[in-house]
Amino acid sequence: VDPRYKKISDLLIDYSMGHFENRIELSEKLDETDAFISGINMLGEELKTTTISRNYFNNIFNSVSDMIFVLTDGGMIENVNRTALEKLDKKYSDLIGLPIDQLLVEGEKPLFEFIKKKLGNSNQGVEAEKKFKTSPTDYIPASCSVNFLHREVKGELRYLVTVRDLSKQKEMENLVIRTIVDTLENERIRVAKDLHDSLGQQLSAVKFYLETLINITEDKKISPILTKSGDALKAAQAELREICFDLMPMTLETYGLVESVHELCRKIGHKNLLEFIILPDKHFPLLNKQLEIAIFRIVQEFINNSIKHGRATRITLKFNFGRDKDEVKIELKDDGKGFDKNKLYSGSGTGMGLQNVRSRIRSYDGTIKINSLPGKGTEYGILIPLNKTTLQR
Ligand SMILES: Nc1ncnc2c1ncn2[C@@H]1O[C@H](COP(=O)(O)OP(=O)(O)OP(=O)(O)O)[C@@H](O)[C@H]1O
Ligand SMILES: [Mg+2]
């Protein structure tokens, strides 16, 4: 037997073990067996380049910092990169064959349905923001970019989903919003205190002098003027108290949110034939001052809207402390005209009120659900998670 066959068989064994760099030298005969050998050498060359490019691709696939999913035509995960396994804390075998929508937080709108609907026949790609579960209680906010993954085999449709973790970015955004809002609120506190301490004191002094004058004067002409001045002065003092309260209710600092909401409702109820029902949880805690101010402003905006737009006659405000003491739940409800939510962001002239409410809540990682129907009243459901800082007074 030609000894070259032994070499061929050894080489094929090498190839099967992944050693694609080995070759066999041709003999001087240059016969058919040599032609066969040169074919096998070429095969080695071919295998080497495809394997290198496959490894090259795998390296890229696994080392990008975004999560990458390949989805089948039915939305099942067919392949996934290492970053996704690490971020979601899952094993490869847990994810393969799983519908991608099962990775989302409960209550999120399905991603795959959206892809199917939006991607259509275009090659533009679609974007969506979704929350990916990392544990039963935690998630990653992420932006997903989706496009078709073109395959050589016709008819086999695949989708490539790139998911970027937005946690850091969101944290940063929240911090910026909170800093801006806190700066504004601190400035209001300062102005309210200044007004109360300086102007308030001086008005009190003037009142004292006026009252002394009223008591000692016997002049019939001057006396009624003095009395009128006294009334005007009392009105000015009341006005000043209103302004200070609007700027910053002092009760908030001393007695906390629920008490200052009571005070707010008393003031408003007097002026506007309006019934308030305030239902605070017995155990509703004192919260961090900035968070209490934020919630107070939200309640203020809700009441203003109920009066201004809803012409409500009854407003119910519920303050609940979550079962596990890790969130506050606030339900605000009116019996007013209600509105069509679909028209909220269409047309011009929409106010800043609800946008401010949303950004305040978002900056604390909270959520808000607004329910409203024309003729059926309006309801806000607000959840704000608590942590060490927000529970600290
Ligand atoms: N309680 C409510 N009852 C009826 N309509 C409401 C109620 N709350 C909000 N709306 C509707 O939603 C719209 C947006 O409210 P938003 O508070 O954002 O703006 P605004 O009150 O018009 O202006 P701003 O708050 O800046 O003074 C309102 O214009 C109104 O049509
Ligand atoms: Mg408003």
Atom of ligand 1 lying closest to residue 352 CA: 26
Distance 169 CA to ligand 2 centre (A): 29
**Could you tell me if the CB of 297 is within 6 A of ligand 1?**
no
Supply the residue whose CA is at minimum distance from atom 1 of ligand 1. 306
| Stretch (H or E) spanning 293 | helix 289-308
The verdict on the CB of residue 339 being under 6 Å from ligand 1 is yes
- From the CB of 380, is ligand 1 less than 6 Å away? no
Span from the CA of 184 to the centroid of ligand 2 (angstroms): 19
Give per-residue pLDDT as tens, 360-376: 999 998 999 999 999 99
Distances (CA, A) of 251 to 90, 215, 258: 49, 35, 9
Ligand nearest to the CA of 306: 1
Question: Rounded to the nearest whole angstrom, what is the distance from the C-alpha of residue 353 to the centroid of ligand 2?
Answer: 4
At 153 the pLDDT is 59
DSSP assignment letter at 341: G
Buried b (16+ CB within 10 A) or exposed e, 316-351: bbebbbeeeeebbbbebbbbbbbbeeeeeeeeeeee
Q: How far is the CA of 353 from the centre of ligand 1 (A)?
A: 7
Residues of the chain short of pLDDT 70, as ranges, are: 121-122, 151-155, 345-350
DSSP 104: B
- DSSP helix/strand/coil, 285: coil
- Beta strand pairing call for 377-385 and 327-334: antiparallel
**Structure tokens belonging to residue 388:** 């060490």
**Cα(286)–Cα(283) distance, integer angstroms:** 9
3-state secondary structure at position 364: coil
Q: Give residue 305 CA to ligand 1 midpoint distance, Å.
A: 5
State which of 298, 304, 305, 306 you would mutate to test the pocket of ligand 1, scoring each by most atoms of that ligand within 8 A of its C-beta.
Answer: 305
Residue 356: closest CA among 339, 347, 346, 368: 368
Report whether residue 310 contacts ligand 1, using a CB cutoff of 6 Å. Answer: yes
pLDDT score recorded for residue 152: 55
CB 315 within 8 A of CB 332: yes
Question: Facing residues of 320 across strands?
Answer: 329
Beta strand pairing status for 126-135 and 77-80? unpaired
Alpha-carbon distances, residue 125 vs 1, 114, 116, 141, 200 (angstroms): 61, 12, 11, 20, 62
Token couple for 127: 């974007």
Ligand 1 atom showing the smallest separation from residue 304 Cα: 21
- H-helix or E-strand containing 141? strand 138-149
Q: Report helix, strand or coil for 291.
A: helix
pTM for this entry? 0.73
Neighbours of ion ligand 2 (CB under 5 A): 305, 351, 353
